[in-house]
Structure 1
Amino acid sequence: MSTLDQKAINRHGWRVAFASGLASYVDAGAIAGTGTALVILQGSLGLTPAQVGQLSALLTIMIAAGALVGGRLGDRFGRRRVFLVTLSVFVVAALALMLAPSVALLYIGLAVLGLAAGADLPVSMAMIAESAPEDKRGKMVTFTHVLWMAGILGVIIISIFFGNAGILGAQIIYGHLAAVALIAVALRWGIPESRLWKESQNSPADDERVDLRSLRALFSPKLFAPLAATGLFYALVNIAANTNGQFSTYLFVNVAGVDVATASMLGLGILLLSVAGLFVMMRIVDGSRRHRTFVLAAVLALVGLAVPLVFGVTAVTLVVMGVFGALGGAVAGEPMYKIWSQELFPTSHRSTAQGITIAFARLVAAGAALVTPLIIAAGPALLFLFLIITSGAAYLIGIFWIFRMRTFLKDDGAMVTAATAPQNVAG
């Protein structure tokens, strides 16, 4: 292959990674933005702690439902067709939340917003993996988490300037999400369907055709093990990430005693460190240092969660936890789940498998979000103890199950194709 051809492939891969990766931006923006918007609206609309928990849980539940449905539709009808529809629906829901904020519309709007965001995630991730050059697949998939962080950054910047402006601040948060989603739809319009997906539809083999019978393959021994492992890892590690995304402002304001704008300023510094950690992840993910870096990052994240547990919840301890969690989570968190989800499943089942694991993880997070405000009211120390236990369990699954599973699958050869594994997968 000539240098010009390789450059063209790289450019196309990055174009798809950006346009498809904006799904991560709006997903993060919806979670973090709603967490901030609910704090802003709790005074204006008279939201109770129970309603804040219900609305946070509703958004997460609908993201889960959307991922389950969208992942299956993406394998059945194609990546492009599905990810154009999902973000178009997201635009409508975000505009509704911006134009007419009320308690009733919060329940309806967040349900539709979550459904659309969740449906887009597994399809867009599969599209990126199937369009990326083999030696840059991990890097391009990890880049989507940079966009995920950018979604939080957008919310933080808005909150710094408009966090104390009442309903207007919440309206601007949802308005900016509608604008980004609309830009993503425009960028995606010119992207062709995934070549690997089209090839899988033309395959005569039963295990490569996407129909109802093919779902049984996900529960065969070779695929159920990675399905269970990645699902459990993501569900457990995502509890802490989702809690920080939805309730960091709540903790800063209602426990640590700072205002929304100050909390957003502190969050901005933490976010920048998180982005720095993601660039480290992009450097190591396609190489041989994955395992060692994962272990170090896991320890760092657990130490961060222990700080507010030991020293109490203050602005300082929350910032320290955020710094450690940002650096640790960039490697030993959702970005690694995204990589594993591309490597462990064949093209014909990749989107469906991710839809199932995302749905499971978000349902678990929804259950946690439903009771988090009540746990905080009863005693924040209980919350951080719970987060340490769940995160620790996730890291053990990654270290002692998934890393070994990847080596086994590589040796077995069943799951390793140009679309499912990097050149060097050593732990």
Structure 2
Amino acid sequence: MKPRHITGWKATVAVSMSNYIDSGSIIAIATSLGFWGAAYFPGDNGRIAGLLAAFSSNAFGAAIGALIGGPLCDKYGRKFIYTYDLLVYALGGLIVTFAANLPMLFVGFVIIGLAVGASVPAGWTYIAEFAPTSERGRHVSMTQLAWSFGPFIGFGLAAALAPMGLLGSRIIFAHLVVISLVTWYIRQGLDESAKWTEAKGGATAKPPSMFASFRGLFTRKANITALLFLAAIYTFWNLAASQNGIFLPTILTSMGYGTLAADLFSMLSWAVVIVATIIFMSLVDRIPYRWHFFVGAALAVVSWVVLVFGSPTAAFTAFAYVIVWGLSAGPSAQAFYAVWSPELFATPYRAGAQGIVFFTVRLASGLISLIFPVILKGPNGLIIDGLILIGFLVVNLLIGTIWTPRTQGKSLEQIEIERYGEPVSVVGAQQGSTVTSSGTAAAK
């Protein structure tokens, strides 16, 4: 039976599920590392846990997947990625679910990361290309909402299944496999992006070469400045966010909380993120980008200041941290990156550029994941790690607030002409077509 044809908000939700299984896999890893460690690498001082985290969907695995998937998405189309990515994810999830040793676990984590990396940038691109201009931010923000539900449900399952030990962790990964396969089936009812089809010169035109796309990406000043800006805000924010996501249970247990309490605190944090993201969705197309971004970035800094300088034995410290961080995650750098990255690049470069930025972000997360748990276990580990991350968050606040893009309320075609000085999306212009001021193809 063929899946039903889907458009509009149904398509947005289907595409956004990539973000749910991305964050869901990160939390599944975060809540299971202790159980895997007891079974397959007892006595670990944090190095093996850090290595697994670094090569998972939290870091290197997703980084490499994005670097491969982004250019493929620009060359073969947005729907091309959706034909295969979640099947690869399901394979990795099954390997982890039935892992019998450390090598199987490592391979499964890497495969999941590759699939996530290929899928997430394609999702932001696809949604932005079909969403109405007046609601583009709201549609793209659905990916952030889906991302928020991953940890909320993941930590809830972890708390409920904790008495089952490693079996409970396997069940959490199994549920992600089921969701990925159901989502894959639904996505087969998606249309190809009309903007991508138009940009390559029509449905029957030959796709542009990846070399030509990369050459155009790196030879245009508008692309380079956008790459630097987006990589800066997303990387500096994500260095803190990634450690919060995958090591929050470890941070809380280092403060004296038990495993169950750590999972419940984490679940509370993500409940607040969900509420904050819903508020963000309602405001992103109406509130000026600059001040909206500033509020989220400032709250992120405050949350880590509370965690680092508050009393580690006071319940208020953990409670205040999870609440304030959760509120900051609505208008976060990731949420604005999802909105800005499709806006700042023309169609031929859009997914490839996002793949490069996503690669940079997750690569940096992987590097810090190798050392964060080691420092955390040492003397004054939380203070040292926290001060470093506060510094990153301050840099994110300054860059994002000072150089906020002026793209709000404008169509992708209008933004393209303003940034490049001309419409560049129709590759088919070399094959006998031109572009009108609205960005549509017109026969010569």
C-alpha distance 185-108 of structure 1, shift in aligned 2 (>3 A): same
**Partner residue of 2:442?**
none
1:341-374 CA deviation, whole Å, 9 max, x = no partner? 0110111111001100000000001011111111
Task: Give me the TM-score of the superposition, normalised by structure 1.
Answer: 0.90
1:312 deviates by 4.2
In 2: Cα distance, 1:403 partner to 1:213 partner: 26
**Partner residue of 1:373?**
373
1:201-220 CA deviation, whole Å, 9 max, x = no partner? 117xxxx9454123122222
C-alpha distance 403-82 of structure 1, shift in aligned 2 (>3 A): closer
In 2: Cα distance, 1:158 partner to 1:100 partner: 19
**Partner residue of 1:413?**
418
In 2: Cα distance, 1:283 partner to 1:210 partner: 39
| Greater helix share, structure number | 1
1:46 deviates by 3.2
1:166 deviates by 1.3
Farther off after superposition, 357-366 or 280-289? 280-289
**Partner residue of 1:318?**
318
1:218-275 CA deviation, whole Å, 9 max, x = no partner? 222111100111011111100111001100011122x022232221212222111111
**Partner residue of 2:53?**
56
1:99–1:171 contact (8 Å) kept in structure 2? yes
Amino acid at match of 2:326: A
Amino acid at match of 2:8: G
C-alpha distance 132-165 of structure 1, shift in aligned 2 (>3 A): same
In 2: Cα distance, 1:174 partner to 1:54 partner: 19
In 2: Cα distance, 1:297 partner to 1:130 partner: 26
In 2: Cα distance, 1:118 partner to 1:102 partner: 25
1:101 deviates by 4.1
**Partner residue of 2:308?**
309
SS of aligned partner of 1:190: coil
In 1: Cα distance, 2:187 partner to 2:407 partner: 34
In 2: Cα distance, 1:210 partner to 1:154 partner: 41
Q: How does 1:130-149 map to 2 (within 5 A)?
A: 130-149=129-148
**Partner residue of 1:383?**
385
1:58–1:111 contact (8 Å) kept in structure 2? yes
1:300 deviates by 1.5
1:114 deviates by 0.5
**Partner residue of 1:113?**
112
SS of aligned partner of 1:163: helix
1:143–1:282 contact (8 Å) kept in structure 2? yes
Q: How does 1:310-349 map to 2 (within 5 A)?
A: 310-314=309-313, 316-349=316-349
1:229–1:402 contact (8 Å) kept in structure 2? no
Amino acid at match of 2:16: G
- Number of residue pairs the alignment of both structures matches: 405
Q: How does 1:34-49 map to 2 (within 5 A)?
A: 34-47=29-42, 48=44, 49=46
1:252-301 CA deviation, whole Å, 9 max, x = no partner? 22x02223222121222211111111112112211243322221222221
1:67 deviates by 0.6
Farther off after superposition, 39-48 or 238-247? 39-48
**Partner residue of 2:175?**
176
In 1: Cα distance, 2:177 partner to 2:66 partner: 20
**Partner residue of 1:199?**
198
SS of aligned partner of 1:402: coil
SS of aligned partner of 2:164: coil
Amino acid at match of 1:360: T
2:72–2:210 contact (8 Å) kept in structure 1? no
In 2: Cα distance, 1:306 partner to 1:200 partner: 47
Farther off after superposition, 407-416 or 315-324? 407-416
C-alpha distance 190-61 of structure 1, shift in aligned 2 (>3 A): same
- Is 1:20 aligned with 2:15? yes
SS of aligned partner of 1:414: helix
Farther off after superposition, 131-140 or 405-414? 405-414
1:319 deviates by 2.8
In 2: Cα distance, 1:316 partner to 1:37 partner: 26
**Partner residue of 1:401?**
403
In 2: Cα distance, 1:304 partner to 1:145 partner: 20
1:37–1:173 contact (8 Å) kept in structure 2? no
Amino acid at match of 2:418: G
1:412 deviates by 6.6
1:40–1:164 contact (8 Å) kept in structure 2? no
**Partner residue of 2:87?**
88
1:118 deviates by 0.7
C-alpha distance 211-112 of structure 1, shift in aligned 2 (>3 A): closer
SS of aligned partner of 2:405: helix
Amino acid at match of 1:370: L
Q: What is the RMSD of the two structures over their aligned residues, measured on CA atoms?
A: 2.4
1:39 deviates by 2.2
Task: Give me the TM-score of the superposition, normalised by structure 2.
Answer: 0.86
In 2: Cα distance, 1:54 partner to 1:349 partner: 32
Structure 1: which 5+ runs fail to align?
1-8, 420-427
Identity of aligned residues (%): 28
In 2: Cα distance, 1:162 partner to 1:221 partner: 52
2:289–2:404 contact (8 Å) kept in structure 1? no
1:370-410 CA deviation, whole Å, 9 max, x = no partner? 11111101221001101100011111111112336989995
**Partner residue of 2:128?**
129
Amino acid at match of 2:165: G
Amino acid at match of 2:341: S
Farther off after superposition, 175-184 or 161-170? 161-170
Amino acid at match of 1:392: V
1:84 deviates by 2.1
In 2: Cα distance, 1:309 partner to 1:100 partner: 37
Amino acid at match of 2:47: A
Amino acid at match of 2:400: G
SS of aligned partner of 1:403: coil
Farther off after superposition, 177-186 or 281-290? 281-290
**Partner residue of 2:75?**
76
**Partner residue of 2:359?**
359
1:309 deviates by 1.4
